Amino acid sequence: MTAATIAPTRLRNCARLGVRLGLAALAIGAFSAFGTPAYARGPEGIADVAEKVIDAVVNISTSQTVEAKGGGSNTMPQLPPGSPFEEFFDDFFKNRRGPGGGSKGGENSPPRKTNSLGSGFIIDTSGVVVTNNHVIADADEINVILNDGTKIKAELVGVDKKTDLAVLKFNPPKPLVAVKFGDSDKLRLGDWVVAIGNPFSLGGTVTAGIVSAKNRDISSGPYDSYIQTDAAINRGNSGGPLFNLEGEVIGVNTLIISPSGGSIGIGFAVPSKTVAGVVDQLRQFGELRRGWLGVRIQGVTDEIAESLNIKPPRGALVAGVDDKGPAKPAGIEPGDVVVKFDGKDVKDPKDLSRVVADTAVGKEVDVVIIRKGQEETKKVTLGRLQDPDKVQAAVKTDEPAPEKPVTQRALGLDLAALSKDLRTRYKIKDSVKGVVVTNVDANSDAAEKRLSAGDVIVEVAQEAVSSGADIQKRVDQLKKDGKKSVLLLVSNGDGELRFVALSVQ
């Protein structure tokens, strides 16, 4: 199929489908007139909202110069993910046949420009625009296209990759319409919302739906807390606003889940509470300045909660404390469980990560912890989170195995006292103290909890151990006390700690 036949073919298919759908629509319309209440058709205010805010929604056009990878004039451009042109170019370049089509071309093909389109919205009549970072990432040139088609070059103010947000600035050629942020915390499940954007380069598209879920964590970043909606969101909607029926922005449309590439009614928006804070900092500093507590945390499972006498299971378990972080001088220790931070309840580690990041650098806050079953309050002055973006690759070397150490079995583990040979074999730092795991029974609870050879057990039930006999003694005592599980403090070779609860039954 050539490029010239793509659109007509699709139009013919849509026309045939339209005949069938037209009959169905007649039947539905007749039923609605007699049997369906007015509210089933949706709220009356959607048209008013769209008319009020449409001029504040813009298209974002970017261009990027990419190196050709061979293939002559028929090389497939390297488009940013989610570009509305991606499907068109895929059809065109993979199926094109003609003069030179499919040929290898020259190896020294010149660089070429690729284009992509997304959405954004004006929050200040001076020309300040909010969009997604992935819409403008790596762009050589960014243009804002107003609702009337006016195209203006924009400059990048700042980006935050962790929340996938960006702020742009352009010089307005005429008076602008701006929109305000609403309170996303006030949203309820089932509330009506309106999405406006530029799907598949069809600018000024309005869709409506409801809030399907709140505080959705889809593991896309450290601060996930998305609004889920069934309002139709497609490629090109990224960076566009999600409105409530007051015409306030309560989210930025960012992600969809779709096996087909089109909307299936599962879209995600960054809530306005997060967006407003990020945008304020990007406008003020050109970067994000997040709070830092200086702890490594993990979830409190039912087994860990039982071991620490925490009912019900909640909070963020401190697995390690940074020696140079704010938590250290405040007296927070590994094994503490943070249940409240600056007056806000902490239900899980994600809650703590978000509230710490949103707290101003240098602010003194109260941190409520549970230690050995008792609540304590610590005062912490937050530091600033640094983002080095460094990836370290572990280098494996083949070394001859030393003599097998003397081991003792407990909890499905082979355990040995730390020696120079074992430190060398498992690359364990001299600062790490405890009992090293040399083997894990594949059918044990320890294997299921991902303990492995080279891990070092530092504490058992919050008491330091130095031999396999120490561990067995503690386990035997816990069994006598009727405990169902034992809490281990486990270190890797670099000294990074985590807690693991194993069954003693």
- Known catalytic residues are 134, 164, 238
CB 218 within 8 A of CB 229: no
Residue 394 has φ and ψ, to the nearest 5°, of -80, 135
The residues, any chain, with a CB within 8 Å of residue 475's CB and separated by 6 or more, are 410, 411, 460, 486, 504
Taking the C-alpha atoms of residue 176 and residue 172, their distance in angstroms, rounded to an integer, is 7
Task: For residue 61, count CB atoms less than 10 angstroms from its CB and return exposed for 0-12, middle for 13-18, buried for 19 or more.
Answer: buried
Chain centroid, CA 496 distance in Å: 23
Alpha-carbon distance of 407 to 94, in angstroms, equals 61
CB 236 within 8 A of CB 84: yes
Contacts of 230 (CB under 8 A, 6+ apart): 209, 210, 212, 265, 266, 267
Q: Is the dihedral of CA 268, 136, 119, 166 positive or negative?
A: positive
Which residue, 180, 157, 181, 136, is CA-closest to 285?
157
Structure tokens at 382: 């937050």
The H or E element containing residue 263 is: none
Q: Are strands 128-132 and 165-169 parallel, antiparallel or unpaired?
A: antiparallel
In single-letter form, the type of residue at position 500 comes to V
* 312 upstream amide cis, omega within 30 of 0: yes
Sequence-distant (≥ 6) Cβ neighbours of residue 10 within 8 angstroms: none
CA–CA distance, 237 with 232 (Å, rounded to integer): 9
On whether the CB atoms of residues 328 and 294 are closer than 8 A, the answer is yes
Checking phi first, is residue 389 left (phi over 0); if not, alpha (psi -120 to 50) or beta? left
* Pure H helices in 345-393: 349-358
**CB-CB contact of 466 with 435 (8 Å):** yes
Beta bridge partners of 378: 367
